Chains A and B, each alone.
Chain A
Amino acid sequence: MTNNHDRSIAFVRTEDVPAAPPPPNAAGPTKWLKDNLFATIPNSILTIVALLVIYLILQGTLPWLLNGVWVSPSLSVCRDILDGATGACFAVLTERWNQLLFGFQYPADLYWRPGLAFILLFFAAAPVLFFDLPRKLLIFTALYPFIAFYLIWGGSILTPIVALVGVVAGAAVYQRYVKGSFALGFFAGIVAALIVWNLGGLIIPDEEITEGAMRSVASRDLGGFMLNMMLGVTCVSLSVPLGIALALGRQSSMPLIKYICVIFIEFIRGVPLITLLFVASVMLSYFFPPEATVDLFLRVVIMITMFSAAYIAEVIRGGLAALPKGQYEAGDSLGLDYAQSMRLIILPQALKISIPGIVNVAVGLFKDTTLVSVISMFDLVGMIRGPILASTDWQGIYWELFGFAALLFFVVCYGISQYSQWLERRLATDHR
């Protein structure tokens, strides 16, 4: 057969022809450009408009950014250095760096204390955010609030220690009685903690420490981005448990409890945060005993916590509603009581579904901490609008400061939302 073939045909190729390269406009960058940018005529117009927009933005901002002056004592000196050329005066950031971060009243020699608290925050948050880390690190997370309180406010070390002892006593009593009934353990724990705190209050010295590295700093001296971080972290961590309680209360079969929760949630969600901050600044002090002086920071924390708890409660209610009814029935048929079936079966699943929503609320809350500048607290925006823009050195500067604030918030909020997306992928147990 082959021989026959050899004779009849003049030439037979014995190996494969190497594949010819595709035509130039069907492969490589040309094809990509053609498919993604210039597929149709309207598409090409869109591309050209987009390029024009990018060009205009870069043309407006790049010289300003690149030609920036980083060292200068005041705006007039900075303008002299620039000598009429376009350029930013980033010197305001370097010169007022500490004020932007810590406010203008925090003692300058104590900046290391909030700085250290900020660094420790990462170690405290890590085991909560990444569950691959050893579980023993959670002990540090539990200790962190007391350490951070002592670092930021200073004063007598007995205050955080008494607070810690109270919590430990409460936890111990809870562990002792929770076997019998969750409610009994829970309330006994709270009573034990209250007793320890009241007794401990007697041994804490009244006079403030005014000397040394750990001297007291008043709440009104807090400011800058530190204040935003403190409000954000405190209120988010307080509002998650409160939000869970409200969500469970809203689903309760007891009408009184249910309606208390419904009215609370709907009321808080119906009013803007700024009116709640007005309540904190002008109204709340009327509701405390006349002799009590609750400082503004605490009042604001109370209101923001209530605000975000209402939103988190709605997110968690969504998670609870998304669980199939069979899960509740399974818990009942195993003979678990309400607290056990919630703790062991319902909440772990409902919270997992709710994580993206909770993170959204947390990001929104962190952005909303800038609102405290309206009730004359000097957070990052308050510092910029108040002391810095009003100072004789930097009057008339604007974009550099707000650009910096925007950048800072963008980095934190974008980071949190990327983490949430990673967590969602990580927790996805349905194999799609």
Chain B
Amino acid sequence: MTSITDPPQGSFRPSMLINDTRYRSYTFQAIAFIVLAASIGYLLDNLFENLAAQGLEISFGFLAAPAGYDINQTLIEYTSQSSNLRAAVVGILNTLLVAVLACVTATVFGVLAGVLRLSNNWLVAKLMAIYVEIFRNIPVLIWILIIYGIMTIVLAAPRDFRGDDPAASMFLGLAAFTNRGVYIPLPQFTRGFGAAELGAIWDWLLVIALLIGSLIATRFVTARATRIQEATGIRPKTLMTNLAIWFAPLILTFLILGLTFEIPALRGFNFAGGIKIGAPLIAIWFALSIYTGAFIAENVRAGIQAVSKGQTEAAAALGIRPGRIMSLVILPQALRVIIPPLISNYLNITKNSSLAILVGYADVTATLGGITLNQTGRAIECVLLLMLFYLLISLLISAVINVYNNAIKLKER
């Protein structure tokens, strides 16, 4: 038995491919598929014809060949005889290094500026508004070049530190700001137990393990304080205990391992010893930090303003002190708004770090997409690998955003 609203059965006509909504979507998809396949085929056909005309073929063999160029700032061992693949890995590590550094400092700048922009102090609020507007409205490329200019033109050359009455002197006698880079003290362990060829890696692992242990211990102390507060109504003081847990084991370990600092010193025409942070790295790091900091400041401001005023008033009516209102009532709600755009700002930092090529910082765009590409002429392979790397990073970060969003979603029952 069929109801009268059922469509007529068994009478398919070709015109129904256009006029019947049941079949029309298949028609459209078939057309779209044909167009897509045809254009991809056309592009690939052109590609192979062009490659054949130039006697080239797609091959990733060049990755194993020696790179033949030097990189000034590397995190892993690298010589000009290393392979192109290793040069690309050096570039990837450098990209990740500058991205992580810039994410940390951009968050600090952004949170400071965002909170201060809501300050009761008129002058400070206006100053922060000017900071945000100026940095958001000027291309990051120009900021990178300006800060690179400050690094290389304004700062003193190493030879200015020479002589009895030098034109420049070291900051507190510890760090030197020169136009070739910043030299800071290098921490070393005189009685470290790490194997010599591995450097101080075991000593640092021990320090990290200690810090993790302290973190767990302080959380335990806090949890105990909360339990006591809930049982008796009086919260025991935990500040001194926590400070002791953080610092006592650390200082003890440093004493046992014999922590000293190797202070950079002028030898010959340049500084030696200590850690050198090259001018290009500082330029790109600082420029990305203040530029993205301005965007993060706006997110922070929007997040704090999104918490309705009734929440503050309700907390105040319960007799909670202003500091705890911020940490217990406003921030947990504001973070829900702040964190997703914050993570996408981190993604922007990672993508914008590709501009490092402008100032000669050897990130992955400069090694794989710059020198390797120009020397081997493997344009298609290099650009594809480069895109693949950035795509992986951004998919990873999107996954983090999705996990976070699901975790903090308002649980409605």
Contact = CB atoms under 8 A, between A and B. Distances in A.
Interface of A: 36-37, 39, 43, 46-47, 50-51, 53-54, 253-257, 260, 266-267, 269-275, 278-279, 282-283, 285-290, 363, 367-368, 370-371, 373-374, 381, 385, 398-399, 402, 405-406, 409-410, 413-414, 417
A283 B387 contact: no
B238 interface: no
Q: Which 5 A-B pairs have the closest CB atoms?
A: A36-B122, A270-B394, A413-B137, A367-B139, A272-B351
B378 to A, nearest CB: 10
Given A275-B354, A283-B383, A409-B138, A270 B395 contact: yes
Contact of A47 (B50, B124, B352, B355): B124
Contacts of B141: 367, 370-371, 373, 381
B158 to A, nearest CB: 20
Nearest to B48: A286
A36 B125 CA distance: 10
A288 B134 CA distance: 42
Contacts of B255: none
B150 to A, nearest CB: 9
B383 A279 contact: yes
A402 B386 contact: no
16 contacts: A36-B120, A46-B119, A50-B127, A257-B32, A271-B394, A275-B390, A283-B379, A286-B51, A287-B50, A290-B46, A290-B49, A363-B137, A367-B138, A406-B142, A406-B146, A409-B138
Chain B's interface size range is: 35 or more
Nearest to A257: B32
Given A256-B32, A275-B369, A409-B142, A414 B137 contact: yes
A27 to B, nearest CB: 17
B120 A39 contact: yes
Contact of B142 (A36, A274, A275, A370): A370
B43 interface: yes
B121 A410 contact: no
B149 A46 contact: no
B365 A274 contact: yes
Given A287-B46, A409-B137, 8 more contacts: A254-B32, A257-B32, A271-B394, A278-B383, A283-B383, A286-B47, A289-B46, A370-B141
A371 B355 contact: yes
B372 to A, nearest CB: 12
Contacts of A54: 127
Contact of A381 (B142, B149, B352): B142
Interface string B83-115: 000000000000000000000000000000000
Contacts of B369: 275, 278
A48 to B, nearest CB: 10
Contacts of A278: 369, 373, 379, 383, 386
A287 B45 CA distance: 8
Contacts of B146: 399, 402, 406
Contacts of B140: 367
B379 A43 contact: no
A307 B260 CA distance: 51
B50 A368 contact: no
Nearest to A276: B387
Interface centre among A43, A282, A288 (most CB of B within 10 A): A282
A51 B29 CA distance: 65
Interface centre among A50, A54, A414 (most CB of B within 10 A): A50
Interface of B: 25, 28-29, 32-33, 36, 43, 46-47, 49-51, 53, 116, 119-124, 127, 133-134, 136-142, 145-146, 149, 153, 351-352, 354-355, 357-358, 365, 369, 373, 379-380, 383, 386-387, 390-391, 393-395, 398
A374 B358 contact: yes
B149 A47 contact: no
Contacts of A414: 133, 137
Nearest to B26: A254
Contacts of A282: 373, 379, 383
A271 B391 CA distance: 6
Nearest to B352: A272
Contacts of B373: 278, 282
Contacts of B51: 286
A43 B121 contact: yes
A37 B391 contact: no
A406 B138 contact: yes
B138 A410 contact: yes
Contacts of A283: 379-380, 383
A256 B29 contact: yes
Contacts of B49: 289-290
A373 B139 CA distance: 13
Given A367-B140, A414-B133, A272 B390 contact: yes
B145 A381 contact: yes
Interface centre among B49, B123, B358, B393 (most CB of A within 10 A): B123
B28 A43 contact: no
Nearest to A415: B137
B383 A402 contact: no
B23 to A, nearest CB: 12
B95 to A, nearest CB: 10
Contact of B36 (A253, A254, A260, A363): A260
Contacts of B394: 269-271
Contact of A37 (B25, B28, B123, B139): B123
A266 B398 CA distance: 10
B138 A271 contact: no
Contacts of B153: 398
Contacts of A409: 137-139, 142
Contacts of B29: 254-257
Contacts of B352: 272
Contacts of B391: 267, 270-271
Contact of A368 (B119, B139, B395): B139
A271 B149 contact: no
B391 to A, nearest CB: 4
Nearest to B43: A287
Nearest to B52: A290
A55 to B, nearest CB: 12
Contacts of B149: 398-399, 402
A275 B383 contact: yes
Contacts of A253: 25
A260 B40 CA distance: 13
B387 A271 contact: yes
A288 B139 CA distance: 32
Given A282-B373, A290-B53, A371-B141, A275 B387 contact: yes
B49 to A, nearest CB: 6
A263 to B, nearest CB: 11
A272 B149 CA distance: 24
Interface centre among A285, A286, A368 (most CB of B within 10 A): A286
A267 B398 CA distance: 12
A47 B140 CA distance: 29
B367 to A, nearest CB: 13
Contacts of B46: 286-290
B123 A51 contact: yes
Given A254-B28, A367-B138, A410-B137, A271 B390 contact: yes
B145 A47 contact: no
Interface centre among B49, B51, B122 (most CB of A within 10 A): B122
Nearest to A273: B351
A287 B39 CA distance: 11
B142 A260 contact: no
Contact of B47 (A46, A287, A399): A287
